[in-house]
Structure 1
């Protein structure tokens, strides 16, 4: 029985002494656990031969579940049977009770969350949820939603909301978004921190959600439209987009009245009068970086305010025909060719710190291939090795490294690839010295490739980008850049306005709801062109000081702040 003579106040008066004492105490306790010394309870499992020894006092102190268990009818039993938790997961969480940490992986984190909830280990739940959200690309967003529904974990629910707010543009294009209930939609749209470039982006998301099930959602539409910052739309937008929506006429009228007659604002009920707090990582705070030349490339960044390009960094990288992709804060350089030999190397260059490091090598050496990201995973597709055209495809995750997935139907190199709507599309390229019009679509759920409708023209070393729900394909032919647009919902192609440039057009990106074509030569200068979709023509921006553009990416301006 504890008494008042316990010297806790004295220890607290000297934090160094207290920390030293607690460190020695916990080290000794874990040694007892590790050596199975002074064990007073053992757990066994119905479907396993494993047994897990432990100390009641430690477990009871770590979790109300164990405190109640040991004070209940089974409390004095030397052996207690556990029926609803896997023995391996249980053992990991017992270790957490002793050390405050345990091994969490993408493959076990779901089971860990469920078991930690059962065992009432709040700190373990927090560790698992934090791990889950930082590895959401590998675990997949759909699996996170399923886990939240199964567990009803409040912490996970809150973290998902924060993730949805920060990644709203990506979330709003997912299939899961279409099945959000109106309460979830309202919670997101009301957020002052919703990470969007313009208020029109929130409107577009509402329309996509609404059009998915118009009869069932017609009455709910005004509730969501009222969450928009309506007074920050111009009058034309209110007239042409808001006022025609069923049940939204009064909302549009109030917003118009607010902006046109300031003297009556006190009599008008408008929910939101201030603009959203735009964060530094949204599209307003994004710009383009261009990777120029293959060997020892330069990085240029676009200064939108002054419409000019500035050098950001240069790299020492002595290979060619590699492919580059943006992953978080890093540019990944995959494969390539050096002195006539195809490479399987992968190197990661951190944009912020300007440091280069090696990543696990691909299984297949390849150059002139495609590389694309989908759900946080990197795919290396096709390419060539020496004189051999490759059809192999491999996928990289931080947990498993590179693993082969199903191969292309038709091997190809100098093609282009893009991800859209949770699928990968590989377009054009060469096979046996022949140009390809074909396009293949990869479904990661079934691990299968299928053909889509062929392009109408041949595209030499095409540049592609996903933009406004379509795939744009650009390539040069006879001093003119041909442009086609693919509709994945209808599996159809259409031609749009050509771009009058010559030479190789090597990059195309989507920024601020506009399509940017980087590269090609006109009047001796490297062009930067922006597509005006409404009028079907290209506008010219400030040209680049470099000619050889190998790739371009959209990045947060804050990422380049260390320049």
Structure 2
């Protein structure tokens, strides 16, 4: 029986000794499973018939289905029959109970999801849904709709809604969109995260849906128009487009009154009055944490309500040009080099909440000026420089196996930018030792391969990179560009005049933020937000420091008050 002290110890986080113990323990358990040692239950599964051995304790800990099964009348039987899951799928999910990973393909994902629901394996459900959504072009959106109806899986339903919201423009042009019921369309249109550049885009989509069956949808039209941010529209649009619509006269008149009579707003019944991305449902719950690259790195916190930056913490260590990543409540500082120009392979972890350091397993290769990203819970260190050579090597960290090499880049590079998007890693720009690069590569973790993408318009070294509204944005002192992954095309956006100093970018409140560098116009460290409608950058409050090597969007609750 566990004592209170052992339970407390088990709940402690970020203990290097505990992580090491757990790794050794899990390795031993994997060996028992692989070698079929100490087996105490065997499942007889059909289609085709197979015997699947396992350990009761592991399965019961992984799933309430097995816990209830083993505590039931048939639970003590040495052989238990399973009749509603095929043997291949069942065996993969038993492996998942031991490893937390399972082989999923487009052809098997439906069976895996159905079986995971039966076996009450929540993590396997999430893995199956995530796989399906990252391979939606192969599985098809219509197939996902059908699977959601068949399984009634809430996780899949929510992921489909997220996908529809993020890819609204594309979906609104599809044939499936014309058959959406009004409740489904309302659920998408009210979303504060709806990926549109202007409210007229949503209006055009509503019109297309409405015109598909005017007699049947005339009464439903006002319900959808009410989902728009009408108070942000201009008067001409309200008068010529909204007012003539059947049943929408009152909505148009309220929006007109809101615009023309600001003093009367408290008594005007309008559901949405703020731009998407900063409504009261999510305003204030996310903020930006910036890491400034110095020998004594500074963390800066942005206060949205006061529109100001303030130093959050000063972290002391004596090296630089590391890669940084935020994982849970921890900032990981990976690689880098010291004053003597000796490159490191060390990985150090700083917990944001309790402000303490922990060491993690070293990388295989020392590297600096490299890229670091997280994808599907795994950390990747990509390219960089070891003090003598430009690196093309890539290594991946998982808790179970530590750092291991995966396939190398096509073109070795340092001072590049990298981002994860739709289940893949994109790396762009940087320097190959002979000069700055335009080239872009994409990594598919399923096939462990890098492929070349379309070159950028210009070369970028040490760029800020982020995913925003279905595109990838790259910003540097050389210029600003946007990548469309579906079309594999680049287009330049309005130029941001920034002088010396590192810079980065993030997507916060449905807006693109450029942070760092030196503003030439204001002669101070720069923070700007992209005004997409007017194609210009709007400067915000300046930073206390200019060299920002990375920024993270974090819950405000993560950061203790100063």
- The TM-score with structure 1 as length reference comes to 0.67
Deviations 1:184-216 (A, max 9, x none): 8865665599763589789699689889xx799
Question: The residue matched to 2:345 in structure 1 has which SS?
Answer: coil
Distance 1:79 1:493, change over 3 A: closer
Provide the C-alpha distance between the structure 1 equivalents of 2:251 and 2:544, rounded to a whole number of angstroms: 46
Distance 1:287 1:237, change over 3 A: farther
Number of residue pairs matched?
487
Aligned to 1:250: 246
Provide the C-alpha distance between the structure 2 equivalents of 1:261 and 1:535, rounded to a whole number of angstroms: 25
Displacement of 1:378 in angstroms is 3.3
Displacement of 1:289 in angstroms is 1.8
Question: The residue matched to 2:153 in structure 1 has which SS?
Answer: helix
Alignment of 1:450-469 (within 5 A): 450-469=451-470
Contact kept, 8 Å, 1:189 with 1:228, in 2: the verdict is no
Aligned to 1:26: none
Displacement of 1:394 in angstroms is 2.9
Question: The residue matched to 1:460 in structure 2 has which SS?
Answer: coil
* Aligned with residue 501 of structure 1, among 490, 498, 519: 498
Displacement of 1:315 in angstroms is 2.0
Question: The residue matched to 1:504 in structure 2 has which SS?
Answer: coil
Distance 1:547 1:256, change over 3 A: same
Displacement of 1:363 in angstroms is 3.2
Question: The residue matched to 2:409 in structure 1 has which SS?
Answer: coil
Aligned to 2:394: 393
Distance 1:81 1:520, change over 3 A: closer
Q: Which moved more, 1:156-165 or 1:412-421?
A: 156-165
Provide the C-alpha distance between the structure 2 equivalents of 1:186 and 1:452, rounded to a whole number of angstroms: 39
Alignment of 1:266-415 (within 5 A): 282=282, 285-338=285-338, 339-398=340-399, 401-415=402-416
Displacement of 1:411 in angstroms is 0.6
Distance 1:85 1:244, change over 3 A: same
Displacement of 1:251 in angstroms is 6.0
Distance 1:554 1:172, change over 3 A: farther
Contact kept, 8 Å, 2:325 with 2:332, in 1: the verdict is yes
Displacement of 1:537 in angstroms is 2.7
Provide the C-alpha distance between the structure 2 equivalents of 1:487 and 1:91, rounded to a whole number of angstroms: 36
Q: Which moved more, 1:274-283 or 1:534-543?
A: 274-283
Displacement of 1:279 in angstroms is 9.0
Aligned to 2:29: none
Aligned to 2:476: 475
Provide the C-alpha distance between the structure 1 equivalents of 2:172 and 2:394, rounded to a whole number of angstroms: 27
Provide the C-alpha distance between the structure 2 equivalents of 1:540 and 1:136, rounded to a whole number of angstroms: 43
Displacement of 1:457 in angstroms is 2.9
Question: The residue matched to 1:159 in structure 2 has which SS?
Answer: helix
Aligned to 1:22: none
Deviations 1:81-116 (A, max 9, x none): 6575549958998xxxxxxxx757232898887557
Distance 1:531 1:507, change over 3 A: same
Distance 1:131 1:282, change over 3 A: farther
Provide the C-alpha distance between the structure 2 equivalents of 1:500 and 1:444, rounded to a whole number of angstroms: 36
Deviations 1:399-452 (A, max 9, x none): 554443332111111111223344432221111232222222334444433333
- The TM-score with structure 2 as length reference comes to 0.67
Aligned to 1:107: 102
Contact kept, 8 Å, 2:440 with 2:454, in 1: the verdict is yes
Aligned to 1:19: none
Provide the C-alpha distance between the structure 1 equivalents of 2:391 and 2:404, rounded to a whole number of angstroms: 16
Q: Which moved more, 1:138-147 or 1:304-313?
A: 138-147
Contact kept, 8 Å, 2:189 with 2:227, in 1: the verdict is no
Q: Which consecutive residues of structure 1, in runs of 5 or more, have no partner in the other structure? A: 1-33, 71-76, 94-101, 119-123, 263-269
Question: The residue matched to 1:256 in structure 2 has which SS?
Answer: helix
Q: Which moved more, 1:218-227 or 1:303-312?
A: 218-227
Displacement of 1:301 in angstroms is 1.1
Distance 1:192 1:79, change over 3 A: closer
Deviations 1:267-319 (A, max 9, x none): xxx99789999998846532222111333311111123322111122223332
Provide the C-alpha distance between the structure 2 equivalents of 1:370 and 1:60, rounded to a whole number of angstroms: 42
Aligned to 1:129: 122
Displacement of 1:471 in angstroms is 3.2
Displacement of 1:503 in angstroms is 0.6
Provide the C-alpha distance between the structure 2 equivalents of 1:188 and 1:425, rounded to a whole number of angstroms: 33
Q: Which consecutive residues of structure 2, in runs of 5 or more, have no partner in the other structure? A: 1-36, 57-64, 259-268
Distance 1:256 1:524, change over 3 A: closer
Displacement of 1:545 in angstroms is 1.3
Distance 1:228 1:403, change over 3 A: farther
